[in-house]
């Protein structure tokens, strides 16, 4: 589904990715693990069109997407939930969710997806008329994920979805990621919590200072620790 080959990505003179290659197959949960500053977020930002690789190629569903605009990539079915809780604070929960479906026009279908998100996140339903800025951090994280689901992505890029959450919320988030995957969405998951990530992933890549240093099935990576 996704094939990244030998990409180099820079911030000015700083090289954040040094010849990274990886693959994601349809239906998988693939995790990127590694310390702070390793380049995980940079990779997701490159896949979602926010950064352009200087070298290398990215193939998605058999077509090159390296360097394509973010809007084009969203249309092609890739949604990105960036690090931190990016919600529009002055809009209600429901308005934030509807924004996720802005490229679609079938109102009935959007309503159905809204119900699906509320089924997965009952807390969002209880608060649907509330301004998003008044939600707790964990609820905002759920909202950011809910908004991404509303875009009906084929491939969902999740950046540290468990960061800073209460332990109870962490379990909920990982369960939801599994449910989203089971409903047909392929997932690329960036996590610092390697154990949690590997517990739900099919495969993983370990990234260190801009390079893939290890890859394998979740079981292999759990053994190699």
Does 57 engage in binding with ligand ADP (CB under 6 A)?
A: no
With CB under 6 A as the contact rule, the residue among 21, 57, 125, 136 that binds ligand ADP is 136
Does 139 engage in binding with ligand ADP (CB under 6 A)?
A: yes
CB of 5 to ligand ADP, least distance (A): 19
Let me know: does 165 contact 174? Beta carbons within 8 Å.
no
CB of 162 to ligand ADP, least distance (A): 10
Angstrom distance (rounded) from CA 103 to CA 100? 8
CB of 127 to ligand ADP, least distance (A): 12
* Shorter beta-carbon distance to ligand ADP: residue 34 or 153: 34
Count the Cβ atoms, other than its own, within 10 Å of residue 27: 13
With CB under 6 A as the contact rule, the residue among 20, 34, 151, 174 that binds ligand ADP is 34
Buried/exposed code over 125-151 (b: 16+ C-beta within 10 A; e: otherwise): eebeeebbeebeebbbbbbbbbbbbbb
Binding residues vs ligand ADP (CB under 6 A): 11, 14, 16, 34, 36-42, 136-139, 164-166, 168-169, 172
């Amino acid at each position: 589904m996704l094939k990244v080959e030998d990409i180099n990505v820079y911030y000015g003179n700083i090289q954040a990715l040094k010849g990274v290659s990886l693959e994601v197959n349809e239906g998988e949960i693939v995790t990127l693990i590694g310390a702070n500053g390793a380049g995980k977020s940079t990779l997701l930002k490159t896949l979602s069109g926010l950064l352009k690789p200087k070298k290398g190629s990215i193939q998605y569903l058999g077509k090159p997407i390296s360097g394509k605009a973010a809007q084009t990539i969203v249309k092609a079915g890739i949604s990105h939930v960036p690090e931190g809780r990016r919600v529009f604070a002055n809009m209600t929960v429901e308005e934030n969710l509807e924004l996720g479906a802005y490229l679609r026009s079938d109102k009935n279908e959007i309503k159905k997806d809204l119900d699906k998100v509320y089924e997965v996140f009952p807390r969002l339903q209880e608060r649907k008329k509330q301004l998003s800025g008044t939600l707790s951090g964990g609820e905002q994280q759920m909202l950011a994920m809910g908004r991404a689901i509303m875009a009906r992505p084929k491939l969902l890029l999740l950046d540290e979805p468990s960061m800073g959450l209460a332990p109870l919320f962490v379990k909920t988030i990982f369960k939801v990621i599994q449910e989203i995957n089971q409903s047909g969405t392929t997932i690329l998951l960036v996590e610092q919590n390697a154990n949690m990530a590997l517990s739900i992933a099919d495969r993983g890549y370990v990234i260190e200072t801009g390079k893939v240093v290890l890859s394998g099935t979740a079981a292999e990576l759990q053994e190699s620790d």
